[in-house]
Amino acid sequence: MEQSKEFYKNNFTDYLLCLALDVGEGMLKSGGEVARVEQTIELICRAYGAAHVEVFSIISVINATIRMPDGSYSSQMRRVKSTSNDLYRLELYNEISRSICRETPALAEFDERLHAVKKKRAYPAWVTIPASALAASSFAVFFGGGLFECLIAVVIGALVGVIDLALGNHLNDLAKIIISSFAAGFLSSLASVLWSSVNSGEIMIGTIMLLVPGVAFGTALRDLLCGDLIAGSLKTLQAILAALMIAFGYILSMAAIGAV
């Protein structure tokens, strides 16, 4: 990547598109909408004087072509392999694109600012564990659980957080969902077998909230209805698959409990 940038620095058009794609890729990776990605790349290129900008993005690929007034031409594609929700980074990329369009600094400075964003984090990675525990236990109580269910949901929620951190990018998202859903189903049923007063359902629901793609489904349908048909269908498919994988992990855990 760094090497290719050295090469680009001799060619303004290529370098500009490369940087604009970096911003777009960053937004897509942090969970930004496809419309936002396309618009941002177009605005950045136009701010630097591009006469023609064509951008097409779906959730896993950005394709862009620009033509400058002097006739120089650049066309690049960027493959984006994983997306997640990182609202902090999304906001930073948004801020960067806003300031870049306003100030149009030299490309080298643009590059430096982008580089600084890549290193920034809103919170250390471990906050995932207490946050998952709080989320799972809150929703266990929200859906009718008592103190005991709440405490067990804290443990299982923390475990889901640990699974998420430990597997990180090593495993695909759907596999992570199956493992988390299986672990949650197994442990909550085990708890209700050990202590008969415990309602495994409420614990399980608390954990399901961590995995369920509810908001993703909503934004997927929005993309679909706002005209981003391909990105919208892919996101809808992703959400449906995630829901099916939760069911798969849960059913697997019920089968395991039945067999134990």
Q: At 159, give phi and psi (nearest 5°).
A: -65, -40
Tell me if 169 contacts other proteins by CB under 8 A: no
- What is the closest distance, in whole angstroms, from the C-beta atom of residue 143 to other proteins in the complex? 5
CB of 54 or CB of 86, closer to other proteins: 86
Rg over alpha carbons for the chain, rounded to the nearest Å, is 22
- What is the closest distance, in whole angstroms, from the C-beta atom of residue 136 to other proteins in the complex? 8
- What is the closest distance, in whole angstroms, from the C-beta atom of residue 181 to other proteins in the complex? 10
Q: Where do we find the tokens 């614990």?
A: 203
Tell me if 228 contacts other proteins by CB under 8 A: no
Strands (E), 120-251: none
9-38 residues in contact with other proteins (CB under 8 A) are 31-33, 35-36
Tell me if 251 contacts other proteins by CB under 8 A: yes
CB of 5 or CB of 49, closer to other proteins: 49
* The only residue of 61, 127, 175, 193 in contact with other proteins, by rule CB under 8 A: 127
C-alpha distances in Å from residue 40, one per residue of 45, 90, 121, 178: 9, 12, 22, 35
Q: Name 56's bridge partners.
A: 63
The contacts of residue 49 (CB under 8 Å, 6+ apart) are 68, 69
CB of 63 or CB of 138, closer to other proteins: 138
Cβ atoms of 63 and 39 closer than 8 Å: no
Cβ atoms of 201 and 185 closer than 8 Å: no
Tell me if 90 contacts other proteins by CB under 8 A: yes
AA identity, residue 40: T
Tell me if 97 contacts other proteins by CB under 8 A: yes
Cβ atoms of 29 and 90 closer than 8 Å: no
Contact residues for other proteins (CB under 8 A)?
Answer: 31-33, 35-36, 39-40, 43, 85-91, 94-95, 97-98, 101, 121-123, 127-128, 131-132, 134-135, 138-139, 141-144, 201, 204-205, 208-210, 212, 214-215, 217-219, 221-222, 225-226, 243, 246-247, 250-251, 254
